[in-house]
Structure 1
Amino acid sequence: MDEMTQLRDMRSDAPAPDRFALAPGRQRLTDAIAGSRRGRGPRTRWWLASLGATAAVTVAALLGTQLLDTSGTRSTGPATMAGDLDLSGPAATLGRAADYQESLTPPPEPRGDQWIYVRRVQGKQELAAQGGPTGEFTYDPDSRVEYGNPAAEKDGTDDDRSPREIHRIADELPEDPAALLAEVRQLYPSGTDAPETKAAQIFRGLGVLVESYPLAPDALARIYRAMATVPGVKITDHLVKDAAGRKAIAVTREEEGTHQRRELLLSPCDYSYAGLRFVVTEDHEMKLPEGTTGINPKLTAGDITLTEAREVAAVVDAKGDKP
């Protein structure tokens, strides 16, 4: 039985990706609640660097609460395509993820004229919650970007790197974790409008790379091993749920000064990118930004202020194609 057949059998509740989707990928989160374009790659949202720093963060904080799934795997889990899960800590979990990626046969790099198709799901936003700003926010779940995007490559900044540029940058990342992390800091610098610590900056940049699509498996393996060495990175000892309702591994780090933690979600089947969440770590009242009317929302530890899942990522031949 081939790998894709196994994956479809085990994840029958999710759309089946093509063979490229076995390698983790990237696509920007929706533009609809975008902040300034700095440090995140194409269609950047700088507010992801620090949830307390911008107005968009406050809007995101008005999402409905979603509970963690505490009935899932703890220190070890069921056999999957990637083998038995180990959620005992960053070294074990991300080391196993790296080992699995290195066991894969790299798919061919897409042609420059092919397109990257991504379908994503975002958690429902209730902007009127707790008397906050009213209205409904919408987004397009389907996005497409040309693999060798000429405009992005001509731009030459970290805001508008094409998927091809990211793929080739990742291929050249060094084996040594410390050297890799230093390079990531250069690739995704901090901005002046939202200060962040060195470790927070690195974890953010690593998240951009893990989300990148397509990425060679050996490059992803190096990224995972380096991620395990970032101060403050932890592994949730049970599977959580992404915005699509699927179980996922949570690689987490508390964001200093925000009362929240960033969670990078990985598939327990093949350690590919599954989504992103921000979770409140302690009760607090968040101030609305200047110029916004409403009541400051009171957030409780465990509230999920932003959640997004990637359901499908694939290489297609034309802009309008779907896998």
Structure 2
Amino acid sequence: MNEMTQLRALRVDAPQPSPHRLNAGRQALVQAAHGQKSTHRVLAGWRMTALGSAAAITAIALMGSQIQTQNGEPDFVPVARPAYTSQSASASQILNNAADAIAERSAPPAQQGGWVYTKEAIANATDQERPGLRERESWIRYADPAFENGRGGDDHSPREKYRFLSELPQDLNEVKKRARAFYPGDGQESRTQHDFGALKALARTYPAPPQGLATVYRALATIPGIKTARATDVLKREAIAIYLPGHEREDMLREEFLIDPQTYLYTGSRWIAQADNPDPDANPGDRWKKDDVIIDSSRKEIDLVDENHERP
């Protein structure tokens, strides 16, 4: 399978489970939720689980195929969009400042019988069938024993993640060790890559105890080579991109996560081209340059609700 086929297999509106943990029942759930055939996600794995795996997402609804502009035309997202507006100062300083700010926040009340509602905006420049900006809604049961205590593999219920964060120690090396155990790697990545990926997944947690989430940011600040940069997300909002350059494997894309420059909370993920596409006969959506944003997912809304399919 070549890299272009791999890239097309990556769909941010579909779940990203670890293939070796995915059973037939979970596959059936994916197909029922999305109305599509099963597809191998070559770039899937625990690093992608935080986008919303089939096991944890009990209900998913696509809100139309595209977001429309005022004149009714689809709001297409060009692929040739630079990833960064400018490089930031010390990533360690930014992340530690973010941790201080997050530690002062109050946690949303978690309800044992509730659901986590999320609305996202998604653009995938390689998806020729559904170009442009689309919305996705999902509902995840807050307390789901089927995905706790290892039952869901590297899928964890929001309740389990909340408890994990609330029990983190102050020793940041121990924090990284626990994060690696919580999100096991695939054996092909370095310790630095594993630390970054596991902490990045934890930084997406909602709801989250402020002190625990702040500790995750402080642990991120200790990762060698971590970078931050000013960026603009797919919704044209200002953001801070957090990434680890120079540690990519053979994938053509690097996953980053974005935080709000005011609240410092997670607002989205995106995949950045690590090289020009050398194919002169590529489709328009596949003609990119190094550092172009290829896939962009932005969190528009997240909240706790009482019932499945209930909106805030």
Instruction: Give TM-score, length-normalised by structure 1.
Output: 0.68
Q: Give the equivalent residue in structure 1 for 2:138.
A: 143
Aligned to 1:214: 207
Equivalent of 2:178 in 171, 183, 190? 183
SS in 1 for 2:275: coil
1:264 partnered with 2:246:
no
Superposed, which structure 2 residues align to 1:161-176 within 5 Å? 161-176=156-171
Q: Give distance in 2, aligned partners of 1:96 and 1:139.
A: 33
Quick one: structure 1 residues 185 and 154, their matched pair in 2 at CA, closer, same or farther if it must change by over 3 Å?
closer
Deviation at 1:282, TM superposition (A): 3.0
Q: Equivalent residue for 2:274?
A: 281
* Fraction of identical pairs, as percent: 28
Aligned mates of 1:47, 1:36 — CA distance in 2: 10
Structure 1 residues 242, 140: closer, same or farther in 2, change over 3 A?
A: closer
Aligned to 1:100: 101
User: RCO greater where, 1 or 2, for CA within 8 Å and sep 6 or more?
Assistant: 1
Taking the aligned partners of 1:253 and 1:69, their CA distance within structure 2 comes to 14
AA in 1 matched with 2:102: Q
Question: Where does structure 1 lack aligned partners over 5 or more consecutive residues?
Answer: 1-28, 52-62, 75-86, 129-134, 287-292
Secondary structure, counterpart of 2:169 in structure 1: coil
SS of corresponding position for 2:154: helix
TM-score (norm 2): 0.70
Superposed, 1:279-318 pairs within 5 Å as 279-285=272-278, 299-318=288-307
C-alpha separation in 2, matches of 1:46 and 1:97: 34
CA distance in 2, matches of 1:36, 1:105: 33
Assess, with a 3 A threshold, how the Cα gap between structure 1 residues 262 and 127 changes in structure 2: closer, same or farther. Answer: closer
- CA shift, 1:65, in A, is 3.0
Select 2:43's aligned residue among 44, 47, 54: 47
For the residue of structure 2 that corresponds to 1:66, the secondary structure is coil
Offset from partner CA, 1:247-273 (integer Å, 9 cap, x none): 101111132333543321000110010
Counterpart position of 1:10: none
- For the residues of structure 2 that align with 1:46 and 1:190, how far apart are their CA atoms? 15
Q: Which amino acid aligns with 2:211?
A: D
RMSD: 3.4
Task: Please state how far the C-alpha of 1:69 moved relative to its aligned partner.
Answer: 5.4
Closer, same or farther: CA 189–154 of 1 in aligned 2, 3 Å: closer
Find the residue that maps to 1:244 and give its secondary structure: coil
Give the Cα separation in 2 of the matches to 1:273 and 1:240: 14
Letter in 1 for 2:93: A
**CA-to-partner distance for each residue in 1:179-234, whole Å, 9 max, x for gaps?**
11111111111225xx2222112111111111111111111110001001112211
CA, structure 1 residues 105+140, in 2 after alignment: closer, same or farther (shift >3 Å)?
closer
State the match for 2:79 in structure 1: 64
**Alpha-carbon contact 2:260-2:267 (below 8 Å) kept:** yes
The amino acid of 1:208's aligned partner reads A
AA matched with 2:142: Y
Determine the C-alpha separation between the residues in 2 that align with 1:174 and 1:46. 35
Residues 1:242 and 2:233 are matched in the alignment:
yes
Residue type at the aligned position of 1:250: A
Is residue 226 from structure 1 mapped to residue 219 from structure 2 by the alignment?
A: yes
Deviation for aligned residue 1:37: 4.3
> Taking structure 1 as reference, are residues 234 and 181 closer, same or farther at Cα in structure 2, changes over 3 Å only?
same
Alpha carbons of 1:283 and 1:245: their partners in 2 closer, same or farther (altered >3 Å)? same
> Match for 2:155: what amino acid?
D
> Displacement, 1:158?
3.5
1:47/1:174 Cα in 2 relative to 1: closer, same or farther (>3 Å)? farther
Residues 1:206 and 1:32: Cα distance change in structure 2 (over 3 Å): same
* CA shift for structure 1 position 46: 7.5
Aligned residues: 251
Provide closer, same or farther for how the CA distance between residues 38 and 274 of structure 1 changes in structure 2, counting only shifts above 3 A. Answer: farther
Contact between 1:37 and 1:159, CA under 8 Å: does it hold in 2? no
Aligned partner of 1:3 in structure 2 is none
Counterpart in 1 of 2:151? 156
CA contact (8 A) 2:16 2:45 kept: no
1:67-86 paired onto structure 2 within 5 Å: 67-68=82-83, 70=85
Displacement after TM superposition at 1:38 (Å): 6.6
- Partners of 2:162 and 2:111 lie apart in 1 by 12
Alpha-carbon distance change, 139 to 30 in structure 1, aligned in 2, over 3 angstroms? farther
